[in-house]
């Protein structure tokens, strides 16, 4: 049964094109047997009819603190709710909430709410990136509020970028996870590296690899769902990580990934290194685009820093280090060699010889090698999401209890 059954949800809708998604969200929440009270800013009514929402939620919709119907009790509603979701949350409404304004029912109820508050921002990409907006998000986060990650894609302005409101299905899934009791990784902080790295040859070309980042993102999402605080350092990848517990840092090169990972490691209980880091980079990337003049050309490469080995050296008592090995031959021997050399506790081995495994597949077949007992766990071919659960289960079973 859904964890949302019987939960009292305040749903605040502010004035954005994405307000239509709030109708789907209301319907999904009701389908999950939640009780939904909709609050709308006056401008939201220009985008979606209050009648639609009152019909879907089976309750009157409130907009102003006082009006023809008298005084609406925002204090009572704020105390009634088990969760307050503001979706879509416009830059304007986020700004008001960050600074404590209460000029309508939605903002007034926010100040009265004692329950967890979630925002699903929706805005144009430049508004999303603007320092004023970033500051508001930081303030709201500092009050303990949560955010549903914005999506990437075409925006109402016609521009393409970040700023799309999270999908109602994702919001409901994350709320459900939030209310799920017994999150077995709660209190743990996990660093995950994922995706490829791109090493510039000149301003338009790079050396990279075929990693999609799917395995690492699946791990980040699974760990976050199970209550861990996740720092995800993601190389160039089209993937989004959807969970409030995931702090995403996007990087491009191995050196940037190294910098981000070594900065974050100190405060982590576990680091899982799922990235396919380029071993070498061009030693002197050209400042201008290289022109096609010569019949032959070569590129000098230098070795990149090894993130896993560096973390292995600085690892403290109680910290766990998990690596990945993708091998094409002498799999076990090579994987065990990496386990020892990089001072890892566990290594997840995938072989390119397994059909449906590793790069760019949605499935993976792994073997887990342990340092402490020289043992190996073998798993079937599964979805990367299920492989992620297996890896986390193994960590919990053998190391974290």
Q: Give catalytic residue positions.
A: 209
- CA distance linking residue 117 with residue 10, whole number of Å: 9
What does the angle CA 250 – CA 217 – CA 265 come to, to the nearest 5 degrees?
A: 60
288 to 307, contacts with ligand CTP by CB under 6 A? 304, 306-307
Of residues 155, 273, 320, 388, which one binds ligand CTP by CB under 6 A?
A: 273
Residue 370 tokens, joined: 């342990």
Strand 280-282 to 189-194 pairing? unpaired
| Contact partners, residue 271, CB within 8 Å, separation at least 6 | 190, 191, 192, 193, 261, 265, 311, 319, 320, 321, 322
What does the angle CA 35 – CA 37 – CA 39 come to, to the nearest 5 degrees?
A: 160
328 to 367, contacts with ligand CTP by CB under 6 A? 338
- Cα distances from 223 to residues 23, 104, 135, 210, 254, in angstroms, run 30, 38, 27, 24, 24
**Least distance CB 99 / ligand CTP (angstroms):** 42
302 to 331, contacts with ligand CTP by CB under 6 A? 304, 306-308, 323-326
Looking at the Cβ atoms of 26 and 253, the one nearer to ligand CTP is: 253
Under rule CB under 6 A, residue 275 binds ligand CTP: yes
**Least distance CB 216 / ligand CTP (angstroms):** 9
Closest CA to 211 of 369, 347, 384: 384
**Least distance CB 307 / ligand CTP (angstroms):** 3
Q: Characterize 356-365 residue by residue with b for buried, 16 or more Cβ atoms within 10 angstroms of its Cβ, and e for exposed.
A: ebbbebebbb
Under rule CB under 6 A, residue 368 binds ligand CTP: no
Looking at the Cβ atoms of 85 and 308, the one nearer to ligand CTP is: 308
> Length of the chain, please?
401
For ligand CTP (CB under 6 A), the number of binding residues is 15
**Least distance CB 258 / ligand CTP (angstroms):** 7
Looking at the Cβ atoms of 227 and 323, the one nearer to ligand CTP is: 323
Looking at the Cβ atoms of 72 and 193, the one nearer to ligand CTP is: 193
**Least distance CB 196 / ligand CTP (angstroms):** 11
Task: Judge if the upstream peptide bond of residue 88 is cis by omega within 30 degrees of 0.
Answer: yes
* Contacting positions for ligand CTP (CB under 6 A): 193, 254, 273, 275, 277, 279, 304, 306-308, 323-326, 338
């Amino acid at each position: 049964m859904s964890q949302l059954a019987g939960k009292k949800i305040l749903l605040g809708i502010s004035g954005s094109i994405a307000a239509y998604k709030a109708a789907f969200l209301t319907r999904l929440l009701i389908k999950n047997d939640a009780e939904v009270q909709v609050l709308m800013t006056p401008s939201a009514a220009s985008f979606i009819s209050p009648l639609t929402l009152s019909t879907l939620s089976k309750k009157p919709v409130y907009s102003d603190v006082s009006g023809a119907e008298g005084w609406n009790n925002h204090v009572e509603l704020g105390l009634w709710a088990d969760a307050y979701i503001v979706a879509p949350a416009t830059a304007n409404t986020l700004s008001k909430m960050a600074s404590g304004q209460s000029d309508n029912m939605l903002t007034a109820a926010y100040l009265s709410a004692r329950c967890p508050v979630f925002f699903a921002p929706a805005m144009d990409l430049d508004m999303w990136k603007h320092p004023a907006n970033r500051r508001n998000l930081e303030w709201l986060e500092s009050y303990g509020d949560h955010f549903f990650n914005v999506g990437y894609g075409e925006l109402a302005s016609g521009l393409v970028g970040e700023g799309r409101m999270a999908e109602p299905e994702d919001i409901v899934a994350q709320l459900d996870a939030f209310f799920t009791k017994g999150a077995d990784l709660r209190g743990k902080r996990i660093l995950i590296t994922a995706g490829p790295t791109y090493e510039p040859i000149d301003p338009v070309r790079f050396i990279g690899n075929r990693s999609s980042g799917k395995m690492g993102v699946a791990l980040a999402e699974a760990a976050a769902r199970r209550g861990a605080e996740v720092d995800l350092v993601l190389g160039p990848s089209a993937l989004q990580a959807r969970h409030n517990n995931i702090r995403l840092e996007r990087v491009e090169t191995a050196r940037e990934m190294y910098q981000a990972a070594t900065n974050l490691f100190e405060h982590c209980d576990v680091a899982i290194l799922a990235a396919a880091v380029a071993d070498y980079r061009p030693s002197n990337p050209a400042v201008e685009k290289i022109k096609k003049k010569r019949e032959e050309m070569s590129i000098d490469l230098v070795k990149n820093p090894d993130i896993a080995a560096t973390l292995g050296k600085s690892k403290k008592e109680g910290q766990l280090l998990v690596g990945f090995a993708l091998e094409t031959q002498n799999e076990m021997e090579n994987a065990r060699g990496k386990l020892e050399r990089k001072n890892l506790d566990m290594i997840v081995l995938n072989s390119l010889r397994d059909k449906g495994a590793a790069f760019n597949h949605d499935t993976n077949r792994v073997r887990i090698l342990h340092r402490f007992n020289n043992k190996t766990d073998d798993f079937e071919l599964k979805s990367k999401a299920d492989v992620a659960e297996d890896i986390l289960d193994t960590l919990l079973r053998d190391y974290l209890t």
